[in-house]
Chains A and B, each alone.
Chain A
Amino acid sequence: MKKYNEEHEWVEVNGDIATVGISAYAVEQLGDITFLELPEMDAEVSMGDSVAFIESVKAASDIYTPISGDVCEINEALLDTPEVLNEDAQGNFIFKLKVSNADELDSLMSEDAYKNFVDSL
């Protein structure tokens, strides 16, 4: 089950590993994605920190981690082919974290709540 923050990042937790990506809505707003900066491996990040960066033809945006933890995997394949996010944002993760505080998940939006949030924009 994915959960979302207001900055349009999704997170899916399995055991103590959180997988993070950006929402289809965010990708639609950005348009053709051309460049990505990934977080540093092993970086300790807190919920809401700007940890990565995404650039499209006409826009640029920070990626804020929806949950705290230590970066344990980054999707390096995206550096060469960032456009796969345009094809499938929900299916391509950006980085993974070893979760430090699973309770934070409760403050994030469910799939439905996020859908309503996007409709209100």
Chain B
Amino acid sequence: MPYTPHTNEQIREMLDLIGLDKESDLFSSVPKELQISGINLPEGLDEFSTFEKFKAIAAKNVTNKTLFMGGGYYDHIVPSAVDALAGRSEFYTSYTPYQAEASQGTLQVLYEYQSMICELSGLDVSNASMYDGASALAESALMAVRITKRNKILIDGGINPTYIKVVQTYLSFRDIEFEVIDVENFKTNRQSVLDKIDESVAGYLFQNPNFFGTIDDFTDIIEKLHVHKALAVVSAYPISLGMLKDPASMGADIFCADGQCLGNYLNFGGPSFGMIATKEAYIRNLPGRIIGRTLDKDGNEIFVLTMQAREQHIRRHRATSNICSNQNLVAVRSTIFMSLLGKDGLADMANLCFSKASYLKEQLSNIDGVEILNKENTFNEFVISTPLSSDDFLDRLREKGFYAGINLANIDDSFKNQILVSVTEKRTKEQMDAFVSSIGDVL
């Protein structure tokens, strides 16, 4: 039997010590009438056949397209060192670091991770990761409700629409009021947001660059939020923080993001991880694990899980969240990735994404029929419209070997014929030129 090392003699010896006749007696505490005879599934496969089976299944997936698709999940480089280190079984097969002395490796990586998230965001404290960007945003909204003891959340329509759906689910079961404020020309509707900020608002959630790629400065909105003692929650694309104004400089109270872009594969959407950071004053309201540095009994520095009384295993129904498992290994990958990248590397990578996207944007604007809909101040994504329906356009480009972007018409009817196009440092001039010429062909 796979992965059970018991010899027949040992099984007999063990049963004898327990005082049982046969293995089935082990389940004597399960009422007989509830027991089943077995599982109605195929018998196990040997390793070789299993591999062949799944290799054939994997081959049914298509992964040979050139990606111009982003929307929160980006086709970035994954350096070899990330796979090599994160694949070490000491990281891979360890458990949550509850026993500090036996987990200094994981604990120190997470401390370094928290430090890096604080550097990206400019904020004071970070937790040790959440499930993903969407749940991090939802938990940030709940944090704002807890901190302000108010019950209304404003959601900017520039936030990734799948995130908005997740946030709405979390909030609706708690009877927390929320309102989505639609964007205007793919940009935050500033006046509308400002008009809605008052003493009833717990927090305003926004994204920068927003889902459509538009970069904005929210300083004035945040100032008004603070006048009314409401919180500013920003979801951001970590790579863009190599270039764009950081959340703390805008005055944001809570920063959250998805970490897939930092050294991780696309994984069909998961596992990725979520990050969340805030001001020190709000640390008791953070969900999830936090790692701290302290001293051991001999005065040696040691890393530990700290502020645990916020968490479910101690505080139970009064915990800040029910989260237990986080996305540790993915956060470890990203810590390694950010170490490789370094201070200049992050800025360089941001610049590559921005510059290449700007090139593509310029080239596309020269094609008859293609219209760029957010012309100014975009990072690595922008919206185009064409005379073709979004479906038709994407299908034709797919046949030519490209995932040309995200079908915005499928997100909202008002985005008819519109496509969200994304570029990363991986796209070469050659690929972009071929893409542009293919678009010229299909139109």
Contact = CB atoms under 8 A, between A and B. Distances in A.
Interface of A: 34-35, 53, 55-60, 62
Given A55-B309, A57-B308, 4 more contacts: A35-B309, A53-B318, A58-B308, A58-B314
Given A34-B309, A35-B309, A60 B314 contact: yes
Interface of B: 284, 308-309, 314-315, 318
Contacts of A56: 309
Contacts of B309: 34-35, 55-60
B contact patch SS: helix
Dominant SS among interface residues on chain A: strand
A35 B318 contact: no
A56 B308 CA distance: 9
Nearest to B284: A35
Nearest to A56: B309
8 contacts: A34-B309, A35-B309, A55-B315, A56-B309, A58-B309, A60-B309, A60-B314, A60-B315
Nearest to B306: A57
Contacts of A59: 309, 314
Contacts, number: 19
A91 B309 CA distance: 25
Nearest to A62: B318
8 smallest beta-carbon distances between A and B, as pairs: A55-B309, A60-B309, A60-B315, A60-B314, A59-B314, A59-B309, A56-B309, A58-B314
Nearest to B308: A58
B318 A60 contact: yes
A55 B284 CA distance: 11
A59 B313 CA distance: 9
Contacts of B318: 53, 60, 62
Contacts of A60: 309, 314-315, 318
Nearest to A59: B314
A60 to B, nearest CB: 4
Contacts of A62: 318
B304 to A, nearest CB: 10
B410 to A, nearest CB: 46
A58 B315 CA distance: 10
Contacts of A35: 284, 309
B63 to A, nearest CB: 48
Between A55, A56, A57, A62, the greatest number of chain B beta carbons within 10 A of the residue's beta carbon is seen for A55
A102 to B, nearest CB: 31
A34 B309 CA distance: 10
A57 B100 CA distance: 15
Nearest to B311: A60
A53 B315 CA distance: 10
A56 B309 CA distance: 7
Most chain A CB within 10 A, of B284, B309, B314, is at B309
Contacts of A55: 309, 315
A105 B77 CA distance: 70
Nearest to B314: A60
B321 to A, nearest CB: 14
A116 to B, nearest CB: 29
A60 B317 CA distance: 11
Contacts of B315: 55, 60
Contacts of A53: 318
Nearest to A30: B309
A46 B315 CA distance: 23
A59 B318 CA distance: 12
A64 B314 CA distance: 18
B254 to A, nearest CB: 21
Nearest to A34: B309
B235 to A, nearest CB: 29
Nearest to A55: B309
Contacts of B314: 58-60
